[in-house]
Structure 1
Amino acid sequence: MQLPAGAALPHTRSHVLHWALTAVALTAVVGVLAVARPPAAGASPAVGEGPDPARAGYPVDCGPHGVAITHHAVVDLDGDGRAETIAAVRCDAAGGTPPGGVYLLTGGAADEPRVAETLVDPADGMIVDELIADGTGLVVRLLGYSGPDVPRSEPDLHGEAAWSWRDGALVREQRAPLTAVAV
């Protein structure tokens, strides 16, 4: 039997029921995936909402310039179930590469955040390149300068420090000491 050109085969015609069942099936699949999806690779456990870094006052003198938050992460360093925020900040200068500081903020999401500890002091002249939090620990990748003649826009040293909570105290570990940037 030959069908005229452009005619649909009987089993390929869609009906309203077909589309309704397809929509229900897709909705069910999306719903199951939304509820039962595995955590993303390297995802940190949920620690809740930490203090808002934009509402905190930082011990940084920027003169006429404001403070820029370059990185932030929410962690529960001490494991008490309350989230802390780690904030990397620097002066929002129009030129150059101003040094940065890293601060541990405490206080609930609704409370006024406060700087509980300075992890990296801007006076050390470092630039925060990356902030990595895994929910219970923190790694900061830093850039720096080997001397006063190195242009501030071209850091020539890099290193890595980590913080974790051990025996009731925040402990810093120098994972990678400052070394020359490979060219």
Structure 2
Amino acid sequence: MQQSAVPELAHATTRPIHWVATAAAVAAVLAGSSFLQPDHATAAQPDKGGAARSTPVAAPDPDGVRFPLDCGPVAAKVQQRASGDLDGDGRPETVAAVRCDAGSGSPPDGVYVLTQPSGKGGKPRVVATLLDPKDRENATDLTVRDGRVAATLLGYSSPEVPSCCPDQKQKVSWHWQDGAFARSTGDQARTV
């Protein structure tokens, strides 16, 4: 009898027990990996001092803020709000359109920028007035995008126009420039 040139390898032959052992090993690895997940990654943003800040800062909440708005016996009511980083410091500000809650008519809006003081327990505060209620305008479509505040202002051509029915409409935006908010309307710009 002639012997084969290739020896028979007992461990190269698969049997059902091999498949059961392999399946059990794979299941154990998958089960173990579900318990050993890495921590969620967060982007560390440097603050003005250069130190990394890993916890995001919440945008200021305008509810409960005292606005520079004289409403007499009625309360001030936040009509719209939008948030974003307006001055590039890595911390979000909130822009709020606020009016007296008169119950009827269209009282004029004030548009204010709020910031959240650093440290625990600090309450949001008004740091800028973008639209003064004395201007007799209402703000609609308030947004914050790419460091710019945008709104549509509804106003009146004369004091004889009833406050229910504004007859002028203007798109405006504000952006942080040289330590103040610059207002742009078409080709006009002014600093507030």
Q: TM-score, normalised by structure 1?
A: 0.66
Q: Could you tell me which residue of structure 2 aligns to residue 9 of structure 1?
A: none
Residue 136 of structure 1, CA deviation:
1.3
**Could you say if the C-alpha distance between residues 168 and 63 of structure 1 is closer, same or farther in structure 2, counting changes exceeding 3 Å?**
closer
Q: C-alpha distance in 2, partners of 1:169/1:63? A: 30
Distance of 1:51 and 1:102 partners within structure 2: 15
Task: Tell me which amino acid in the other structure corresponds to 2:95.
Answer: I
Q: Which residue of 2 aligns with 1:163?
A: 174
Q: Which of 93, 110, 125 is matched with 2:102 structurally?
A: 93
Give yes or no for contact 1:161–1:176 (8 Å, CA) kept in 2.
no
Q: Deviations over 1:57-88 (max 9, x none)?
A: 10111111111100001111111001111000
Q: Distance in 2 between matches of 1:176 and 1:100?
A: 24
The normalised TM-score by structure 2 is 0.63
Structure 1 147/176 Cα, relative in aligned 2: closer, same or farther at 3 Å?
farther
Residue 68 of structure 1 corresponds to: 77
* Correspondence for 2:89 among 69, 80, 104: 80
Which one of 104, 113, 125 corresponds to residue 114 of structure 1?
125
Aligned to 1:58: 67
1:124 aligns with 2:124: no
Change (3 A) 1:48 1:175: farther
Of 159, 164, 172, which aligns to 1:153?
A: 164
Structure 1: which 5+ runs fail to align?
1-46, 178-183
Paired letter, 1:157: Q
Further displaced range: 97-106 or 145-154 = 145-154
Q: Which residue identity does 1:115 align to in structure 2?
A: V
Say which of 147, 155, 166 aligns to 1:136. 147
Q: Is 1:104 matched with 2:113?
A: yes
- Residue 157 of structure 1 and its aligned partner are, at CA, apart by 0.3
- Which structure would you say has the larger Rg? 2
1:55 Cα deviation (Å)? 2.4
* In structure 1, distance between residues paired with 2:107 and 2:152: 16
> What is the count of residue pairs matched by the alignment?
131
Where relative contact order (Cα < 8 A, 6+ residues apart) is larger, the structure is: 1
Unpaired segments of 5 or more residues in structure 2? 1-55
Q: Helix, strand or coil: the match of 1:123? A: helix
2:160 maps to amino acid:
D
Amino acid at match of 2:110: G
SS of the aligned residue for 1:54 comes to: coil
Query: Shift of the alpha carbon at 1:168?
Result: 4.2
Distance 1:170 1:149, change over 3 A: closer
Q: 2:105 is matched by which residue type in structure 1?
A: G
Cα RMSD for the two superposed structures: 2.0
